[in-house]
């Protein structure tokens, strides 16, 4: 039985009879092929990437597993439509906190129509993309069992200023209320979620090392999705922290040139996260992770 995913924060959503992705109970994510060649471009990317022997395994783990394409009943009732079948690495988590960061100061690609380029150019300047080299596309932060999730409206998210982005990246790893703008985020989980050898920063740096060298693909308008489970981190299970790349509808051939647009934006995000970690260390308010051996029972990995 296919159903609408609970934890989607960006992109088209299959709600109210609209076309959007679906999930099953076996950990698979079904994404309808987008129109105007974007869907087929994404299939081409996954097909090429899956079979490319030049991709190291430690880089491959940042990408969702690709199971091919499948004709399934579309969420908008328009009949059978081709869908990408991908690993669902979000729904396997209980109450995941997640943030979708679209990387790059530029989200257009040279082969696009002039109209498309101008629309992207405008949006890149209106959001933080041009200034910061990335923009937050969506997020949900799990507050507590009682109050559930803080999931700001997409329109609000796209209006984030540089300072909002800095604040939200701190809220993402804080124990106190995110919705209340009067509360200073405590960054209590920064050292566990962002820091450490398996934390988000280490994973982003590993990804960056590859981007300094790889000239196979240009990941235009692609997102870094950062996921963790707050309840698991409180229990001491830091292995629940995941970084994945998603949305490859605009991936282009690199043609021997590095993806300087993605690399620059990724380095900027790394700097933002490093600074949160540094200031947390200095203030010494960081969360002391319980010294136990609990396995990460809330996530599949």
Kindly state the tokens that stand for 32. Answer: 């309808």
Which stretch, 36-44, 151-159, 172-180, 212-220, contacts a copy of itself (CB under 8 A)?
212-220
- Name the CA radius of gyration of the chain, rounded: 19
DSSP 73: E
Which position among 52, 70, 78, 215 is part of the footprint of a copy of itself (CB under 8 A)? 215
Q: Which is nearer to a copy of itself, 136 or 229 (CB)?
A: 136
Task: For residue 14, give Cα distances in angstroms to 6, 9, 10, 96.
Answer: 10, 12, 12, 19
Shortest gap between Cβ of 125 and a copy of itself (angstroms)? 7
Which position among 212, 279, 290, 295 is part of the footprint of a copy of itself (CB under 8 A)? 212
Q: Which is nearer to a copy of itself, 109 or 150 (CB)?
A: 109
Q: Which is nearer to a copy of itself, 125 or 294 (CB)?
A: 125
By CB under 8 A, tell whether 267 contacts a copy of itself. Answer: yes
Tell me the pairing of strands 80-87 and 28-32.
antiparallel
Cα 104–45–27 angle (5° rounding)? 95
Distance, CA of 7 to CA of 22 (rounded, Å) = 11
By CB under 8 A, tell whether 255 contacts a copy of itself. Answer: yes
- Cα dihedral 261/263/268/273 (nearest 10): 140
Burial class (CB in 10 A: 0-12, 13-18, 19+), 250: buried
Which stretch, 5-13, 223-231, 235-243, 251-259, contacts a copy of itself (CB under 8 A)?
251-259
Which stretch, 42-50, 60-68, 219-227, 256-264, contacts a copy of itself (CB under 8 A)?
256-264
Kindly state the tokens that stand for 15. Answer: 């709600």
Q: Give the DSSP H or E segment for 217.
A: strand 217-219
Which position among 77, 257, 282, 292 is part of the footprint of a copy of itself (CB under 8 A)? 257
Q: Tell me how far apart the terminal alpha carbons of the chain are, to the nearest angstrom.
A: 23
- String of contacts with a copy of itself for each residue 94-133, x by CB under 8 A: -----------xx---x----------x---x----xxxx
Q: Name the maximum alpha-carbon separation found in the chain.
A: 57
Q: Which is nearer to a copy of itself, 8 or 220 (CB)?
A: 220
Which position among 73, 87, 264, 289 is part of the footprint of a copy of itself (CB under 8 A)? 264
Distance, CA of 215 to CA of 256 (rounded, Å) = 5
Number of DSSP helices (H) and strands (E) in the chain, helices first: 10, 11
Q: Which is nearer to a copy of itself, 18 or 122 (CB)?
A: 122
Shortest gap between Cβ of 202 and a copy of itself (angstroms)? 16
Interface residues with a copy of itself (CB under 8 A) are: 105-106, 110, 121, 125, 130-133, 162, 212-213, 215, 255-258, 260-261, 263-265, 267-268, 271
């Amino acid at each position: 039985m296919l159903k609408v995913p609970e934890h989607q924060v960006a992109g088209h959503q299959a709600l109210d009879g609209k076309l959007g992705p679906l999930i099953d109970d076996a950990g698979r994510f079904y994404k309808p092929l987008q129109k105007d060649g974007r869907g087929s471009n994404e299939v081409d990317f996954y097909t090429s990437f899956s079979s490319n022997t030049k991709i190291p395994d430690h880089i491959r783990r940042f990408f969702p597993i690709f199971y091919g394409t499948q004709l399934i009943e579309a969420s908008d009732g328009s009949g059978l439509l081709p869908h990408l079948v991908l690993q669902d690495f979000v729904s396997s988590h209980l109450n995941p906190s997640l943030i979708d960061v679209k990387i790059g100061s530029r989200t257009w690609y040279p082969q696009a129509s002039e109209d498309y380029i101008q629309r992207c150019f405008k949006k890149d300047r209106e959001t933080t993309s041009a200034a910061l080299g990335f923009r937050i596309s969506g997020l949900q932060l799990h507050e507590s069992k009682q109050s559930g999730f803080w999931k700001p409206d997409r329109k609000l998210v796209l209006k984030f200023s540089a300072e909002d982005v800095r604040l939200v990246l701190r809220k993402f790893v804080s124990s106190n209320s995110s919705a209340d703008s009067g509360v200073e985020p405590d960054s209590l989980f920064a050292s566990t979620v962002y820091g450490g050898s398996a934390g988000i920063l280490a994973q982003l740096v590993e990804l960056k090392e590859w981007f300094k060298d790889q000239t196979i693909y240009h990941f235009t308008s692609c997102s870094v999705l950062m996921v963790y489970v707050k309840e698991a981190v409180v229990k001491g299970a830091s292995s629940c922290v995941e970084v994945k790349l998603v949305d490859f509808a605009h991936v282009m051939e690199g043609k021997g040139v590095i993806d300087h647009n993605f690399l620059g934006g990724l380095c900027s995000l790394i700097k933002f996260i490093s600074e949160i970690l540094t200031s947390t260390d200095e203030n010494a308010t960081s969360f002391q992770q319980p010294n136990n051996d609990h396995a990460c029972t809330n996530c599949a990995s």
